[in-house]
Structure 1
Amino acid sequence: MDCCDNDRVRDVPADPGTGLTNFRRYTWWSLIGIIAFFLVFSVARSRIMDVAVPFVVRFAVVTALALTVAAVAVSISRRLPRVPSGSPDTDPDGPPPVGWLAAGGAGGIALGVALLAVRDYGLWSFGPAMTVSVIAMFLPDRRRWLLIAATAVGAAVLGGVTAAVSGQGSLFAAAFPAGLVVFTGWVTLGMLWAWDVAERLNAARRLSAELAIKDERLRFAADLHDIQGHHLQVIALKSELAARLAEADPARAAAEMQEVRRLATDALRDTRAVVQGYRRVTLEEEITNATRVLAAAGIDARMELDPAVPGLLPGPDRHLLGLVMREATTNVLRHSRARHVEVSYRITDGLARLTAANDGAPDRRTTEHPGIGREAGPRQEAGPGTGLRTLAERVRTAGGELTWRHDGDRFTVTASLPVERSGPEPAGDRTTAAATDLEAR
């Protein structure tokens, strides 16, 4: 994810429905509560708070305790940003609070030295252990555990040597500080890990929503391209015909221009319908339209249709085959010199199969393209994201297959979808149908 994506994700506030805000609050209070409790406990239960200890020493210890707790609170707040970022481990909300981390580390060391001086071998390591675990939050995974391991070894050596010099048992004095450092790091970093995972999941959820919006925009752009490209191609064809007939047959030229006007009106209506989200293209409509358009272009169009097929296909499948029929017709008008077009629509081996073949492709060796990923003959594709390749993806998603074959001067497009024999699609309003179609896409 680049910087722009990070900024865009960070600008989006956390969705209250995810509970991420409450989870952050829980993590923040848990970390600070545990660390503050053990720091206060280690000082309150230590001999350093006895009245026999000078007041200045006790005051210095309490001051160091307050500074350490404040530094820990600020550092954890910086490590748990209020608005989730894209990568918690490497990109916390702003740079690490080096000053507060240094203050907390100094306070923890001061507490450890003071308690070790009065021979509290079981309590002196709380301050260093807690502050080291907070510092480790801002380090990468390997470095944070190296820091904790080094601190555990150092605490074990320091506690064991001090106890041995004092003539007391060194096993507990060495083992307890080391175990406390490891345990503290395990607990605090484990809670931080849970927060990081939740933050990543929330960022992924919001990114998925953005990608869904972009996919829908691309789908809309593809539909708009299909509608505008088809209508404009027919308008250009009829305008050229009217221009040639203007002198020889003015009456027919006028009729052709009336047809151009009707096509322009249809294009405007279809464009508005796409914007509103209610337009559905069906195969029956596209076959009828293709017959009329090809005949106007002087192309002999022969249709072999199975009347039982439409009732066996749901609306989204008829829509998808309609798009295939439209693309095949547009390619014939735009890229071929066809004189004959044959369209077949029937049931074969449990599949509704649509085949559109024309004889106007330039002569070349036989090539066959099973779906997506190859060239579709000479100029049959407008480029990535449109035409037969995009339709092949959509047909494959619907459980079917779209292929095209170039054999000599003959170009054949074949689309097949499995037949559902549950009966025809129930009648309903166009809004419900459009919603079903959108979900199928």
Structure 2
Amino acid sequence: MTLVMPPGCDNGRVADGTGLASLRRYTWWTLAGAAVSVLVLFAGGWLVAGGTPLWARLLGGAALGVAVTASVVLLHRRLAAVVPGEVPRRWLAAGGAGAAVLGAVELGFGEYGRWALAPAVLVAVGATFLSPHGQRWLLGGASAAAAVPGLVVSWAMADGGLLYAALFPAGLVIFSGWSVLGPLWAWDVAGRLHAARRLEAELAVKDERLRFAADLHDIQGHHLQVIALKSELAARLAATDPDRAEAEMREVRRLAADALRETRALVHGYRRTTLEEEISNATRVLAAADIDARMDLAPAPSGLSATGRHLLGLVMREATTNVLRHSRAARADVEYRVDGDRARLRVSNDGALAPTEEASGLATLAERLAAAGGDLTWRHEADRFEVAATLPVGAP
């Protein structure tokens, strides 16, 4: 049986080629491609048209190159963050200057439908670094200001195109802002959703640990407090009332045995698990963390004992915890196979951080598997971390 978890739409990292990685590439190529196409093909197309003076071609070409470069750099910086960060003022100023020079050259030759393209694109790109309130003010002010130059030039030239010269540039500014900010809005929403879902997965792990700590405190706190009081009482009675002191110490022994029994019961209930349950749990937890979990599972053999399923379940749980705590994983692969008389479990993930203390829990599990006739190994190569466990099918 092969189960493949579908990648979720997230902010940054579900899997290479999917999720936010794909969304980021799509958004990048959409915005950068559209900006460059508009600037080069439309705004700059006039430069190579017949009849354009050489000085206008040179000046406009240089301004176009600056505007295109600045637009690409600004969009790259903006998409590198989930939310808008510091505004690259130098690039924004350079791009704005290039767009203004190119627009002025084209407007001087009566290109009312073309001159505002470059300024509109740079205004839209600059708006991506602002808050929604700032974006509205910038686009509104820029669209109103864009109507003025064409209106003045058309009126001075008396060419009869006042309405077109005034309204078309304003419409270009609004349309450019809508075209750029729309995909960026989807990118930001996906980013915040991804961060929230990863936080949800981490909180689920912490909540479970807190639950166990609270249960352990409830069991141990009462018993230890009573044991301490009765031990103190027995010490005071030892000289004056030995029989009473002996009775108190027997009660202390009973309380200690009860505490030990209840603690074992708690640990047994908390840790007793099976491979099937832990794989199911890992599927949910990794999906909640927006990690692309690829499950390649063979049917569980009937000869694998409850202890064997429990041990492999612990390995699965520890490996899942390591993926969440010690990696920035985009993908995790879980493979379970039965080769002859041995059950084999392998869990690997990418995005592994530098080795820290993640092997401490694995070392303890390795001893337990070795006692059952199996083995547990792990290795860290580049950004990949892999845990592999084997266990005899008939292990008691």
TM norm structure 1? 0.54
Unaligned runs of 5+ in 1: 1-11, 281-427, 436-441
The answer (yes or no) to whether the contact 1:42–1:124 under 8 Å persists in 2 is no
The answer (yes or no) to whether the contact 1:270–1:279 under 8 Å persists in 2 is no
Counterparts of 2:67 and 2:112, CA distance in 1: 20
Q: Give the letter aligned to residue 124 of structure 1.
A: W
- Look up the match of 1:195: 187
The answer (yes or no) to whether the contact 1:68–1:104 under 8 Å persists in 2 is yes
The answer (yes or no) to whether the contact 1:71–1:100 under 8 Å persists in 2 is yes
Q: Once the 2 structures are TM-superposed, how far is the Cα of residue 157 of structure 1 from its aligned partner?
A: 2.0
Counterparts of 1:234 and 1:43, CA distance in 2: 85
Of 135-144 and 237-246, deviating more is 237-246
- 1:62–1:200 Cα change, 3 Å: same
- Look up the match of 1:230: 222
Matched residues, percent identical?
Answer: 54
What SS does the corresponding residue of 1:21 show, helix, strand or coil? Answer: helix
Unaligned runs of 5+ in 2: 1-10, 273-305, 315-396
* Residue 70 of structure 2 is aligned to residue 71 of structure 1: yes
The answer (yes or no) to whether the contact 1:241–1:253 under 8 Å persists in 2 is yes
* Residue 208 of structure 2 is aligned to residue 209 of structure 1: no
Q: Which of these residues, 86, 90, 108, is aligned with residue 99 of structure 1?
A: 90
- 1:133–1:239 Cα change, 3 Å: same
What SS does the corresponding residue of 1:173 show, helix, strand or coil? Answer: helix
Counterparts of 2:56 and 2:70, CA distance in 1: 21
Counterparts of 2:109 and 2:42, CA distance in 1: 13
Q: What's the CA shift string for 1:91-126, capped at 9, x where partnerless? A: x2xx21111011111111111111111211111110
Q: Once the 2 structures are TM-superposed, how far is the Cα of residue 252 of structure 1 from its aligned partner?
A: 6.3
- Look up the match of 1:344: none
Q: Give the letter aligned to residue 19 of structure 1.
A: G
The answer (yes or no) to whether the contact 2:74–2:92 under 8 Å persists in 1 is yes
Counterparts of 1:37 and 1:249, CA distance in 2: 98
Q: What's the CA shift string for 1:350-388, capped at 9, x where partnerless? A: xxxxxxxxxxxxxxxxxxxxxxxxxxxxxxxxxxxxxxx
What SS does the corresponding residue of 2:238 show, helix, strand or coil? Answer: helix
What SS does the corresponding residue of 2:110 show, helix, strand or coil? Answer: coil
TM norm structure 2? 0.60
Q: Give the letter aligned to residue 58 of structure 1.
A: R
Counterparts of 1:54 and 1:44, CA distance in 2: 14
* Residue 57 of structure 2 is aligned to residue 58 of structure 1: yes
Q: How does 1:250-399 map to 2 (within 5 A)?
A: 250=242, 253-254=245-246, 256-268=248-260, 270-271=262-263, 274=266, 278=270
- Look up the match of 2:113: 122
RMSD (CA atoms): 3.2
Bigger-Rg structure (1/2) = 1
The answer (yes or no) to whether the contact 2:44–2:64 under 8 Å persists in 1 is no
Counterparts of 2:187 and 2:270, CA distance in 1: 43
- 1:55–1:269 Cα change, 3 Å: farther
The answer (yes or no) to whether the contact 1:273–1:279 under 8 Å persists in 2 is no
**Relative contact order (alpha carbons < 8 A, sep ≥ 6): 1 or 2 greater?**
2
- Look up the match of 1:40: 40
- 1:44–1:136 Cα change, 3 Å: closer
- 1:165–1:56 Cα change, 3 Å: closer
- Look up the match of 2:317: none
The answer (yes or no) to whether the contact 2:44–2:61 under 8 Å persists in 1 is no
How many residues are paired up?
Answer: 267
Counterparts of 2:26 and 2:124, CA distance in 1: 18
Q: Which of these residues, 139, 159, 162, is aligned with residue 130 of structure 2?
A: 139
Q: What's the CA shift string for 1:382-425, capped at 9, x where partnerless? A: xxxxxxxxxxxxxxxxxxxxxxxxxxxxxxxxxxxxxxxxxxxx
What SS does the corresponding residue of 2:51 show, helix, strand or coil? Answer: coil
